[in-house]
């Protein structure tokens, strides 16, 4: 299986599978934690089965690989595959097993080779800390694929997350799947659903096969983000994914700021990527509905994070910084920060339940303006003489924006109308505006 994946240049899957098959051996020498660092699927993919029989019988452990030499060879193959896949952090985990073996054998030559490869791997981590192009590594693109129609048999109403190579566009996977199932059922019998809205099977033609394909991204809770610090952490051992669907209460997808809701759908798969398969079943789905002001808060937080990242990027990227600045303080930005503030902060809400969101949005704008100022200062230090006028224009736009925002973000809820805060031991509060729906 590993050899077959290698021929398709899909190096992460054989590397994980080879390492996982050796879990019983890892456990025997105290490396269970290391194996789980490679993949959270290790127990399911490992060689623990009825085939592992006693040495006097013929079984899986009697093969040529289940010797010290075989173990070393397989792990070296796994390390090589991880390196080819750009997963240099996992290379380090594999070599944690090999180093003690070579130390016990006093094999200085092998140790020198391994430490040389580790130095190379860590050097690439430093140089390519965020992706392939311009220092970026791309570990894959993910899509949710749902199948609807009796023609699919057991696949009917089944949903999967597909992992596609590097940068794969939605049109590419749509064309491939439509062609594949079109060859089975007939071209005129397969139809791709163009939106990401919930599918009502009653409205579908029972004589056709329907495929719904949606781009999804890895999803992490706030507590997870504390451990998933690096780019690799955020793109490895992935089980949860998210996609967002904009909507309005009258049925339109998009509307004015004050009527724009968003449905955030969080998917959980049965196993983690990378996996020996390119698609994994979705076993749990959760929906969170964000109100218009919550959508505005998320948008402003995202803009602020983009500013912070572009400002502190090392090495500095003047083009990216200017692009983010233009999107933040440019005069031609549609539905920009000022319009958001005017829509949601012009008046203090009459409903006390909205005070929390009102205050949170005001704080978001204060943080946003501070980040704009930092970004402008950084850009000034990066530009040449030919861009001085451009810098002055950005600064003028910023000061106009800041001046217009001041009366909106500095308004406070009068003390008389402030709600009394009460200690609530319950985790969930009825005052929360986000609506949550969980499907099990």
- Tell me, yes or no, whether 324 and 252 share the same domain: no
| Dihedral sign (CA 270, 272, 276, 280) | positive
- The Cα–Cα gap between 80 and 90 comes to 10
Domain boundary among 234, 269, 290: 290
Q: What is the pLDDT of residue 163?
A: 95
Contact 325, 394 (CB under 8 A): yes
**Nearest 10 degrees: Cα torsion 21, 25, 27, 33:** -60
- Tell me, yes or no, whether 70 and 173 share the same domain: no
| Dihedral sign (CA 395, 400, 403, 409) | negative
Q: What is the pLDDT of residue 133?
A: 43
Widest CA span in the chain: 84
- Tell me, yes or no, whether 231 and 325 share the same domain: no
DSSP 22: T
Full domain range(s) for residue 335: 294-417
- Tell me, yes or no, whether 113 and 218 share the same domain: no
- The Cα–Cα gap between 102 and 94 comes to 13
Q: How many domains does the chain have?
A: 3
Q: By CB neighbour count within 10 A (0-12 exposed, 13-18 middle, 19+ buried), where does 303 fall?
A: buried
- The Cα–Cα gap between 190 and 213 comes to 13
- The Cα–Cα gap between 356 and 317 comes to 36
Contact 172, 236 (CB under 8 A): no
* 199 domain residue, yes or no: yes
* 399 domain residue, yes or no: yes
Contact 429, 361 (CB under 8 A): no
Question: In Å, how far are 143, 214, 319 from 244, measured between CA atoms?
Answer: 13, 10, 29
Please measure the distance between the N-terminal and C-terminal CA atoms of the chain and give it in whole angstroms: 33
- Tell me, yes or no, whether 282 and 299 share the same domain: no
Neighbours of 220 (CB within 10 A): 15
- Tell me, yes or no, whether 63 and 169 share the same domain: no
Q: What is the pLDDT of residue 430?
A: 38
Would you call 272 helix, strand, or coil by DSSP? strand
* 221 domain residue, yes or no: yes
- The Cα–Cα gap between 77 and 429 comes to 52
CATH code for the domain in which residue 318 is found:
1.20.58.740
Q: Crossing angle, helix 337-345 and helix 292-312, to 10 degrees?
A: 150
- The Cα–Cα gap between 368 and 374 comes to 10
- The Cα–Cα gap between 279 and 282 comes to 9
* 346 domain residue, yes or no: yes
- The Cα–Cα gap between 66 and 425 comes to 55
* 438 domain residue, yes or no: no
* 299 domain residue, yes or no: yes
Would you call 39 helix, strand, or coil by DSSP? coil
- The Cα–Cα gap between 386 and 363 comes to 36
* 73 domain residue, yes or no: yes
- Tell me, yes or no, whether 215 and 265 share the same domain: yes
Beta pairing class for 141-148 and 190-193 = unpaired
* 210 domain residue, yes or no: yes
- Tell me, yes or no, whether 89 and 73 share the same domain: yes
Q: Crossing angle, helix 318-329 and helix 292-312, to 10 degrees?
A: 150
Residue 65, phi-psi category: left (phi > 0), alpha (psi -120 to 50), beta (remainder): alpha
H-helix or E-strand containing 304?
Answer: helix 292-312
- The Cα–Cα gap between 42 and 40 comes to 6
Residues of the chain with pLDDT under 70: 1-65, 129-136, 331-335, 412-440
- Tell me, yes or no, whether 118 and 257 share the same domain: no
Q: What are the beta bridge partners of residue 147?
A: 211
Please provide the DSSP assignment of 355-409 as one string: HHHHHHHHHHHHHHHHHHHHHHHHHHHH--GGGHHHHHHHHHHHHHHHHHHHHHH
- The Cα–Cα gap between 100 and 107 comes to 10
Domain boundary among 233, 264, 290: 290
Q: Within 13 Å of residue 339, how many CA atoms lie on the same side as its CB?
A: 13
Q: What is the pLDDT of residue 62?
A: 59
- Tell me, yes or no, whether 121 and 174 share the same domain: no
- The Cα–Cα gap between 334 and 258 comes to 15
Domain boundary among 100, 127, 154: 127
- Tell me, yes or no, whether 236 and 317 share the same domain: no
- Tell me, yes or no, whether 109 and 163 share the same domain: no
What would the pLDDT profile of 232-287 be if each residue is shown by its tens digit?
889 889 999 999 999 999 988 899 999 999 999 999 999 999 888 899 999 999 99
């Amino acid at each position: 299986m590993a050899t077959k994946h290698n021929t398709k240049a899909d190096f992460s899957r054989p590397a994980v599978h080879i390492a996982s098959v050796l879990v019983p051996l890892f456990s025997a020498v105290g490396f269970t934690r290391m194996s789980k660092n490679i993949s959270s699927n290790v127990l399911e993919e490992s060689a623990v089965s009825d085939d592992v029989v006693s040495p006097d019988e013929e079984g899986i452990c009697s093969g040529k690989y289940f010797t010290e030499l075989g173990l070393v060879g397989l792990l070296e193959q796994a390390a090589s595959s991880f390196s080819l896949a750009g997963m240099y952090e996992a290379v380090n985990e594999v070599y944690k097993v090999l180093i003690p073996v070579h130390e016990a054998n006093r094999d200085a030559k092998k140790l020198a080779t391994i430490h040389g490869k580790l130095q190379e791997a860590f050097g690439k981590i430093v140089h390519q800390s965020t992706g392939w192009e311009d220092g970026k590594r791309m570990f894959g693109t993910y899509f949710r694929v749902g199948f609807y129609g009796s023609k699919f048999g057991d696949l009917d109403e089944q949903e999967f997350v597909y992992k596609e190579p590097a940068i794969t566009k939605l049109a590419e996977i749509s064309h491939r799947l439509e062609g594949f199932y079109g060859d089975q059922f007939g071209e005129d019998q397969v139809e791709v659903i163009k939106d990401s809205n919930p599918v009502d099977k009653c409205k579908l033609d029972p004589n056709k096969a329907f495929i719904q394909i949606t781009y999804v991204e890895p999803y992490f809770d706030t507590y997870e983000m504390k451990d998933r610090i690096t780019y690799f952490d955020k793109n490895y051992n992935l089980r949860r994914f998210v996609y967002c669907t904009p909507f309005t209460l009258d049925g339109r997808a998009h509307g004015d700021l004050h009527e724009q809701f968003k449905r955030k759908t969080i998917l959980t798969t049965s196993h983690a990527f990378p996996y020996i398969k390119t698609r994994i079943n979705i076993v749990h789905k959760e929906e969170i509905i964000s109100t218009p002001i919550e959508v505005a808060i998320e948008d402003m937080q995202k803009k602020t994070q983009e500013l912070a990242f572009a400002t502190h990027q090392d090495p500095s990227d003047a083009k990216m910084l200017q692009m983010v600045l233009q999107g933040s303080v440019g005069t031609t930005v549609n539905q920009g920060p000022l319009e958001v503030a005017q829509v949601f902060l012009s008046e203090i809400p009459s409903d006390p339940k909205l005070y929390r969101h009102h205050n949170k949005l005001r704080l978001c704008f204060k943080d946003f303006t501070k980040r704009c100022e930092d970004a402008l200062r950084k850009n000034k230090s990066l530009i040449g003489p030919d861009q001085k006028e451009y810098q002055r224009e950005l600064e003028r736009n910023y000061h106009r924006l800041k001046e217009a925002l001041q009366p909106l973000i500095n308004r406070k809820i009068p003390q008389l109308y402030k709600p009394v805060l009460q200690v609530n031991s319950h985790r969930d509060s009825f005052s929360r505006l986000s609506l949550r729906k969980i499907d099990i």
